[in-house]
Amino acid sequence: MRSKSVFIVFEGIDGTGKTEALSKLIPHLVTRHKEFSSIVLTKEPTCGSTGNKIRKLHRADIKDPELFFRLFCLDRSEHIERTIKPALKTNSLIISDRYAYSTLAYQSVQGIPKKTLQHYSFLKPNLVILFDAPAKTVMKRIYRRKKAPEVFEHTRFLENARQEFLKIAKKTKKPRFVVIDASKNRKTVALSVQKAVEKFLFDSSRNRF
C-alpha cells in the first residue's frame, strides 16, 4: 500500500515566530487529522550529536562558513535517515522547524558559493511555509526576548537571508511555497499558517507520496 504521508517544513529568518506558530498548529492538527497515524514534530539543527555540536559552536561565536555548511548538511542527512524517512513510511504528517532551505539562504549569505549550493541535493518536502518579516521587525522581537542574540541575529545578515529565502520561494516550482506575512500579530500569523496547511492537505489529499 502506498504511504499517505506528508512532509511540511517551516522556514524563515530568526524571530519570525515559526516555533510559536508550530506549537499552536499541532493541537489543531491532532484533533482534525485522524487520517495520519502520527504527527511528527521535528527540527533543525536537530537534538542529535551534530545538531548539539552546531549549537555549541554558535554559542562560542565561531565563524567558519565551510565548517557550518558541512555540519548542517551532515545533521540533515542524519535527520533524513533517522527521523524523516522512517516517518514517511508510516502515514505520518511530519513538520520540521527549519530544513534545507535554511542552508540555501543562511550559508549563501555566509559566503558559500551559489554553485556549491545549487548542487546540494536533498529529499524534497511537500510544502514549505515561509515566515517572512523585515529584519528590523524581527530584531526588535529578539531584543525583547532578553536572551543574548545568537550569532546570526544581526539586522543586515538577517535581511540578506530574508531576501535569499524570498528568491528561493519565487524560483521554486516544486515544492509549493506559501509566504506568510510574519510581521502581523501572533494570532493572525497562526491563523494564516493554519489556513495554508489545511488548504494544502485538502488539495493534496488524493495525491500523496
Give the total of residues touching ligand TYD (CB under 6 A): 12
Q: Name the DSSP letter for residue 149.
A: P
Which residues, numbered 150-189, are part of the site for ligand TYD (CB under 6 A)? 150, 152
Minimum distance from residue 40 beta carbon to ligand TYD (Å):
17
Q: Is 18 helix (H, G, I), strand (E, B) or coil?
A: helix
Q: Toward ligand TYD, which CB reaches closer, 91 or 164? A: 164
Given 32, 55, 85, 167, the residue binding ligand TYD (CB under 6 A): 55
What is the rounded distance in angstroms from the CA atom of residue 59 to the CA atom of residue 193? Answer: 31
List strand residue ranges (DSSP E) for the chain, in order: 6-12, 38-43, 92-97, 127-132, 176-181
Interaction of residue 102 with ligand TYD, rule CB under 6 A: yes
Interaction of residue 14 with ligand TYD, rule CB under 6 A: yes
13 assigned to a ligand binding site: yes
Q: Which stretch binds ligand TYD (CB under 6 A): 59-67, 98-106, 117-125, 200-208?
A: 98-106
Contact assessment for residue 105 and residue 160, using Cβ atoms and an 8 Å cutoff:
no
Bin 115: left if φ > 0, else alpha if -120 < ψ < 50, else beta: alpha
Give phi and psi for 85, each to the nearest 5.
Answer: -60, -45
Minimum distance from residue 97 beta carbon to ligand TYD (Å):
6
Interaction of residue 120 with ligand TYD, rule CB under 6 A: no
The annotation places the binding site for ATP at 12-19
Name the binding residues: 12-19
